[in-house]
Copies of this chain bind each other. A is one copy, B any other.
Amino acid sequence: MDNLFSDRIADVPRSFIREILKVAIDPSVISFAGGLPNRNLFPVAELRAAANRVFDTVGQEALQYANSEGLLGLREYISHRYREKQGLEISPDNILITNGSQQGLDLLGKTFLNRGDDVIIEEPGYLGAIQALSLYRARFHPVPITDDGMAMDRLREVLATRKPKLMYLVPNFQNPAGITYTDQNREAVAELVQGRNILLVEDDPYRELRFTGTHQTSFRKLLPDQAILLGSFSKIIAPGLRLGWVAAPARIMPKLIVAKQASDLHSNHFAQRLIWQYLADNDIDSHIRTIVQVYSRQQQSMVRGIKTYLPATVGHTHPAGGMFIWLTLPQGISSKRLFDLAIQDKVAFVPGSPFYVDRLETDTLRLNFSCVDEETIGIGMQRLGRAVEKLLEQVNG
**Chain A residues at the B interface, C-beta cutoff of 8 Å:** 1-2, 4-10, 12, 14-15, 36-37, 39-40, 42, 44-45, 47-48, 51-52, 55-56, 59-66, 98-100, 102-103, 106, 110-114, 117, 128, 131-132, 134-136, 165, 197-199, 225-226, 234, 238-242, 254-255, 257-259, 261-271
Whole-angstrom distance between the alpha carbons of A271 and B2 in the complex?
A: 37
Min CB–CB distance A251 → chain B (angstroms): 8
Q: Is the CB of A264 within 8 A of B106?
A: yes
Q: Is the CB of A199 within 8 A of B4?
A: yes
Q: Is the CB of A270 within 8 A of B241?
A: yes
A45: chain B residues within 8 A (beta carbon) = 55
Min CB–CB distance A163 → chain B (angstroms): 10
A131 and B264 contact, Cβ closer than 8 Å, known pairs A39-B60, A99-B99, A240-B270: no
Min CB–CB distance A254 → chain B (angstroms): 6
Whole-angstrom distance between the alpha carbons of A165 and B7 in the complex?
A: 13
Whole-angstrom distance between the alpha carbons of A271 and B135 in the complex?
A: 27
8 A-B residue pairings within 8 Å (CB atoms)? A4-B198, A9-B111, A14-B254, A42-B63, A99-B268, A110-B135, A132-B262, A135-B262
Whole-angstrom distance between the alpha carbons of A102 and B264 in the complex?
A: 5
Q: Is the CB of B268 within 8 A of A7?
A: no
Q: Is the CB of A128 within 8 A of B265?
A: yes
Q: Is the CB of B42 within 8 A of A60?
A: yes
Most buried by B among A42, A65, A241, A266: A65
**Cross-interface CB contact of A265 among B63, B102, B225, B257, cutoff 8 Å:** B102
Whole-angstrom distance between the alpha carbons of A238 and B268 in the complex?
A: 11
Q: Is the CB of A269 within 8 A of B255?
A: no
A51: chain B residues within 8 A (beta carbon) = 48, 51-52, 55
Task: Given contacts A7-B114, A65-B234, A132-B262, list 5 more A-B pairs with CB under 8 A.
Answer: A4-B112, A6-B111, A6-B113, A64-B240, A110-B135
Nearest 6 A/B pairs, CB to CB: A240-B269, A63-B238, A44-B59, A99-B264, A48-B55, A103-B264
Q: Is the CB of B242 within 8 A of A269?
A: yes
Query: For residue A195, which residue of chain B has the nearest CB?
Result: B1
Whole-angstrom distance between the alpha carbons of A102 and B260 in the complex?
A: 11
**Cross-interface CB contact of A110 among B6, B61, B199, cutoff 8 Å:** B6
Min CB–CB distance A53 → chain B (angstroms): 10
Min CB–CB distance A260 → chain B (angstroms): 10
Whole-angstrom distance between the alpha carbons of A65 and B128 in the complex?
A: 14
Query: For residue A234, which residue of chain B has the nearest CB?
Result: B65
Min CB–CB distance A119 → chain B (angstroms): 12
A113: chain B residues within 8 A (beta carbon) = 6
Min CB–CB distance A381 → chain B (angstroms): 24
A39: chain B residues within 8 A (beta carbon) = 60-61, 63-64
Min CB–CB distance A76 → chain B (angstroms): 20
Whole-angstrom distance between the alpha carbons of A179 and B1 in the complex?
A: 31
A60: chain B residues within 8 A (beta carbon) = 39-40, 42, 44
Most buried by B among A48, A199, A258, A269: A258
Q: Is the CB of B63 within 8 A of A100?
A: no
A47: chain B residues within 8 A (beta carbon) = 55, 59, 63
